[in-house]
């Protein structure tokens, strides 16, 4: 894990990506959370989901038993891409290119090999699409999916992106499907294991 984290922190494969590399705590956890990519504030804080989207997401987790500090210390937080992609001229953050996603895939593969997680939580459509085919969030959120990811079998509970720019989780059917996802997460053995510490 130490060697992996040192190499990850030194990665400079993508010229358009803006460092630093952002990672969660190096914790051996049965749960792997996969975000999309850090925003422009996360690098300064040195941790993923450190700004407004994170506040929303951690409120979801607090409702089912884990506050932010405990979650960060017990769940491994990764992302499809680990550096800030920069701003999109049309607004919002730039979506990473397929090459950039490909460059970061090896880091995720290494983490899957290290952790062998029982449960994966992909957050947002870009992250979900790495594990399962997704046309609409309505079709995948609110269910447990059996997945094989980088050769490892696990269960996945997809979550919508908690971004303020997204209205999906704040209106129906998103509200109900998010509640279903959180109920499934709360009942999952891996979540119970993490809650018990």
* pLDDT of 165 over the 90 cut: no
In whole angstroms, what is the distance from residue 192 CA to residue 173 CA?
A: 27
In whole angstroms, what is the distance from residue 31 CA to residue 40 CA?
A: 26
> What average pLDDT does the structure give for the chain?
96
Planar angle of CA 39, 36, 26, nearest 5 degrees:
90
Q: Give the list of residues 6+ apart from residue 41 with CB closer than 8 angstroms, or none.
A: 50, 51
Q: Tell me, what's the pLDDT at 173? A: 97
pLDDT by residue (tens digit) across 19-75? 999 999 999 999 999 999 999 999 999 999 999 999 999 999 999 999 999 999 999
In whole angstroms, what is the distance from residue 10 CA to residue 22 CA?
A: 11
Q: Tell me, what's the pLDDT at 17? A: 97
Inter-residue contact 48 to 77 (CB < 8 Å):
yes
Handedness of CA 172, 175, 179, 185 (dihedral sign): positive
Q: Tell me, what's the pLDDT at 67? A: 98
Inter-residue contact 22 to 43 (CB < 8 Å):
yes
Distances (CA, A) of 64 to 30, 144, 164: 17, 17, 21
Tokens 């704040």 locate to 170
What mean pLDDT is predicted for residues 118-133? 97
Q: Tell me, what's the pLDDT at 164? A: 84
């Amino acid at each position: 894990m130490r060697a992996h984290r040192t190499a990850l922190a030194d990665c400079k494969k993508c010229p358009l990506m803006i460092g630093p590399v952002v990672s969660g705590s190096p914790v051996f956890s049965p749960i792997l959370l996969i975000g999309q990519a850090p925003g422009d504030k996360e690098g300064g804080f040195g941790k993923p989901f450190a700004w407004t989207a994170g506040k929303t997401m951690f409120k979801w987790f607090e409702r089912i038993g884990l506050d932010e500090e405990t979650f960060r210390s017990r769940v491994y937080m990764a992302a499809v891409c680990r550096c800030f992609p920069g701003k999109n001229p049309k607004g919002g953050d730039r979506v990473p290119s397929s090459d950039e996603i490909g460059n970061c895939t090896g880091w995720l593969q290494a983490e899957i090999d290290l952790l062998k997680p029982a449960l994966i939580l992909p957050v947002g459509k870009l992250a979900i699409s790495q594990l399962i085919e997704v046309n609409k969030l309505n079709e995948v959120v609110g269910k447990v999916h059996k997945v094989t990811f980088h050769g490892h079998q696990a269960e996945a509970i997809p979550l919508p992106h908690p971004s303020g720019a997204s209205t999906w989780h704040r209106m129906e059917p998103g509200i109900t499907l998010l509640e279903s996802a959180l109920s499934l997460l709360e009942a999952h053995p891996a979540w119970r294991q993490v809650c018990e510490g």
